[in-house]
Amino acid sequence: MTALAHLTAPREQARHFRSRGWWRDQTFLDDLDRWARLRPDAPAVINARAADKDIRVQTYQDFDRNVRRFAAGLAGLGVGEGDVVTFQLPD
């Protein structure tokens, strides 16, 4: 029996997880928005390519702008709330 076995209903589990701070009501986008405002020039994403040893750094401001641009592009294609979007990246 797991430690959470006594929590049978999904709502009970959600309440339990939130009360302990394991689940939050904020999303990744809330976090990104906050850091883009508080630390716009801090590194958010660092990408290094082994082939040419090229290192690229996106600040929180850059990353936020790119995420919003991508979202606007999807919306322009007719993708809306609740639609499933998926993509595959190489290894």
pLDDT classification of 64: cutoffs 50, 70, 90: very high
pTM confidence score: 0.68
DSSP states along the chain:
--TTTT--SHHHHHHHHHHTTSS-S--HHHHHHHHHHH-TTSEEEEEEETTTTEEEEEEHHHHHHHHHHHHHHHHHTT--TT---------
Given a cut of 70, whether residue 8 has pLDDT beyond it is no
| Band (76; pLDDT cuts 50, 70, 90) | very high
What is the rounded average pLDDT of the residues 58-69?
Answer: 97
For residue 6, name the pLDDT band (cuts at 50, 70, 90): low
pLDDT at 91: 78
Residues 45-63 have pLDDT tens digits of 999 888 888 899 999 999 9
